[in-house]
Structure 1
Amino acid sequence: MTQIRERSVLFADLRGSTALFETLGNAEATSVVTHTVSLIAQAVDECGGKLVKTLGDGLMAVFDNAADGVRSSVRMHELLERVVSRGKQHGASQGLSALRMQVALAHGEIVEMSGDCFGDAVNVAARLLNHAGDNETLITKEVLLGLGSAMKSRFRSLDLIAVRGRAEPVHVYVLDKPQVGDVAATQFGDIIQAVEPDGIRLVWLDLDRVFDIGSMPIVLGRSTQATYCITDGRVSRSHARIDWHGGSFSLTDLSYNGTFVRFGNDGEIVSLRRGSCTLHGSGSIGLGSSPTDLSAPTVRFEVLHFADTEPLPLGQSRSRG
């Protein structure tokens, strides 16, 4: 029987499962992934949703309302964290410890037919997963409008994002993670006290642009609809995203080949694979391979403080007298 209904559609996807197959072998890795997907699927039933199908290392579900869908997403992240934490306590492989999850929700009219669901909301939710970083939940504006004020306050806007296969961009929101005091943690060096910048400068070949805080988020990618378009075949359509949050710029990898950050001219290389790090000072961002690969598409960056000084040519350091 075919039915047309208003539904919130949720897609969840495990990342890092490839490493499990490399470390555990096919049989054991398949068992772990299947068990983990079955576990997070419990969150659908707990929150009054309907599991439409599992998708290898992910799932699709629908909910009568947005609030139940978001609650299910939060519960999924809690369940996965429990699996990963228990694995670490019992000396599980690094592959299990590296499991991450992305969740995306959209709301709208869908067609329910033969146990499956179809429609614009289904397509948008599925493709939003490509814009999500590790352990992120992304929702559309239509989902946000269906939430109570307390739950709405947990989301922040990523503004309009171009979604593949859709002519109109989608207003997307991300579920905030808890913040720790007023410091910004980075994957490079120690935790540093946040000194709020005003903008960020990006340079690739002759594409030299300065973005202020109001321009966030910046999507770096090959798509002509990306905020900062890098026309190189090794770059994903939406490869990485720069957000402004908590007084600092955060870079999140959205690709399958990874994003690599080098701080300064010869600093440590930070490898982001669906992960994030805080950008500070200046350095370079390698899209798909390390900035040390001279043939790789590399974007140089400088975090700017407009009130203090004009930006210097990238690669030239500021004296601290």
Structure 2
Amino acid sequence: MTTAAVLIADISGSTPLYERDGNERALHEIDQCLNRLQAVIHREGGEYVSSKGDDVLCLFDDPDLAFLAARRMLVEGPSQILSIHAGLYWGELVRLGGNVYGKPVYTAARLAALAKPGELLLGDTVFARLSPVERGRLTAIGAIHLKGKAAPSEVYSYLAADASQLTEVEAVPARDAGRWAHSVLLRFGGVDWRIGEGETLSVGRALACDLVVTEPFVSRRHATVAVARGLVEFTDHSSTGSYVVAGDGREYELCRRTMVLSGEGAISLGEPSGGHGVATLHFVVEARARG
């Protein structure tokens, strides 16, 4: 018996890819995507086990590293058409003939199948073992009846919005992390803030927040922006939600969820963008080599 976190990441969007590019080019692009997923596994200290068609199955001893790898896959794996959805579960499994079997394997597969493109779903067994910082990135979406479990299980979500639009995220291999300085430049009301690796900025009406915004639809602790291991993440904590407008003009609505930011864009707090008097935070994600 082995106890580990089982991560299954699946590629979606292959059918339109075959229709657009034909079998040979589509197979090549899918193979390249699988190679990128395997690279993430090895970089974050996981064990690649197998692939069945358009997915990868891997193991991690550390739940936090499994969660980090899943987040990386959501933003590093996709291409223009392809996207990634994933499932993560913890438990005892059996090794046999170079493969692994058991409840965490088929539960992770079930969660991956339920996840939307750009989303990770993970079970309560993983959530209970994550550090408090990592738990804060997740949103509880309720109890789901999973095969093999008598009672419904609490399931948690991590969303990378439209992952195919996030391929510009500057994801730097761990071996090169010391050579890079990651930051995000934030602008509100004519004032700039710059957040670097390991730093967090809180936004809301409460005076204890780093950035105090007193508009009526802004919650006391509305959101946080954090830079961690090369990813810039915006987390909405509010009841009114936030609206992230990416550089291509697409708008994503978040309510108590986390999204990876890339490039340039704007975040409207509490109301959709474009309205009169909406509190809007502008951002520019930057990654530069250290001198």
Please give the range of the TM-score, normalised by the shorter of the 2 chains.
0.5 to 0.7
Mapping 1:279-318, distance limit 5 Å = none
CA distance in 1: counterparts of 2:95 and 2:238, whole angstroms: 38
Identify the residue that residue 22 of structure 2 maps to in structure 1. 25
**Aligned partners of 2:8 and 2:55 also within 8 Å:** yes
Q: Does 1:45 align with 2:42?
A: yes
More strand by share: 2
**Aligned partners of 1:158 and 1:174 also within 8 Å:** yes
Q: Taking CA–CA contacts closer than 8 Å with sequence separation of 6 or more, which of the two structures ends up with the larger relative contact order? A: 2
Identify the residue that residue 228 of structure 1 maps to in structure 2. none
Identify the residue that residue 90 of structure 2 maps to in structure 1. 107
CA distance in 2: counterparts of 1:80 and 1:50, whole angstroms: 17
Shift of 1:117: 0.7
Report the 3-state secondary structure (helix = DSSP H, G, I; strand = E; otherwise coil) of the residue aligned with 1:48.
Answer: coil
CA distance in 2: counterparts of 1:194 and 1:9, whole angstroms: 44
Task: Indicate which of 55, 58, 65 corresponds to 1:58.
Answer: 55
Go from structure 1 to structure 2 and tell me whether the alpha carbon gap of 1:249 and 1:164 turns closer, same or farther (over 3 Å shift).
Answer: farther
**RMSD between superposed Cα atoms in Å:** 3.0
CA distance in 1: counterparts of 2:238 and 2:155, whole angstroms: 15
Q: Does 1:9 align with 2:6?
A: yes
Task: Indicate which of 105, 112, 119 corresponds to 2:102.
Answer: 119
**Aligned partners of 2:119 and 2:157 also within 8 Å:** yes
CA distance in 2: counterparts of 1:18 and 1:195, whole angstroms: 42
**Aligned partners of 1:41 and 1:76 also within 8 Å:** no
Task: Find the structure with the greater CA-based Rg.
Answer: 1
Percent of pairs with identical residues: 26
Shift of 1:99: 1.3
CA distance in 2: counterparts of 1:75 and 1:247, whole angstroms: 28
Go from structure 1 to structure 2 and tell me whether the alpha carbon gap of 1:174 and 1:33 turns closer, same or farther (over 3 Å shift).
Answer: same
CA distance in 2: counterparts of 1:10 and 1:36, whole angstroms: 16
Identify the residue that residue 296 of structure 1 maps to in structure 2. none
Report the 3-state secondary structure (helix = DSSP H, G, I; strand = E; otherwise coil) of the residue aligned with 1:111.
Answer: strand
Shift of 1:35: 1.1
Shift of 1:248: 5.5
Go from structure 1 to structure 2 and tell me whether the alpha carbon gap of 1:101 and 1:194 turns closer, same or farther (over 3 Å shift).
Answer: farther
Go from structure 1 to structure 2 and tell me whether the alpha carbon gap of 1:246 and 1:134 turns closer, same or farther (over 3 Å shift).
Answer: farther
Go from structure 1 to structure 2 and tell me whether the alpha carbon gap of 1:80 and 1:136 turns closer, same or farther (over 3 Å shift).
Answer: same
Identify the residue that residue 146 of structure 1 maps to in structure 2. 129
**Aligned partners of 1:106 and 1:142 also within 8 Å:** yes
Q: Does 1:247 align with 2:240?
A: yes
CA distance in 1: counterparts of 2:159 and 2:33, whole angstroms: 24
Describe the superposition over 1:283-315 as per-residue Cα deviations: whole angstroms up to 9, x where unpaired.
Answer: xxxxxxxxxxxxxxxxxxxxxxxxxxxxxxxxx
Shift of 1:11: 0.4
Go from structure 1 to structure 2 and tell me whether the alpha carbon gap of 1:249 and 1:130 turns closer, same or farther (over 3 Å shift).
Answer: farther
TM-score calculated relative to the size of structure 2: 0.55
Q: Which consecutive unaligned segments of at least 5 residues does structure 1 have?
A: 85-96, 183-192, 197-243, 251-275, 280-321
Go from structure 1 to structure 2 and tell me whether the alpha carbon gap of 1:133 and 1:121 turns closer, same or farther (over 3 Å shift).
Answer: same
Moved over 2 A (4+): 163-168, 193-196, 244-250, 276-279
CA distance in 1: counterparts of 2:112 and 2:95, whole angstroms: 22
CA distance in 1: counterparts of 2:137 and 2:155, whole angstroms: 13
**Aligned partners of 2:9 and 2:85 also within 8 Å:** yes
TM-score calculated relative to the size of structure 1: 0.50
CA distance in 2: counterparts of 1:23 and 1:157, whole angstroms: 37
Describe the superposition over 1:248-279 as per-residue Cα deviations: whole angstroms up to 9, x where unpaired.
Answer: 599xxxxxxxxxxxxxxxxxxxxxxxxx9769
In the comparison of the two structures, how many residue pairs are matched? 179
Go from structure 1 to structure 2 and tell me whether the alpha carbon gap of 1:141 and 1:6 turns closer, same or farther (over 3 Å shift).
Answer: same
CA distance in 1: counterparts of 2:57 and 2:21, whole angstroms: 26
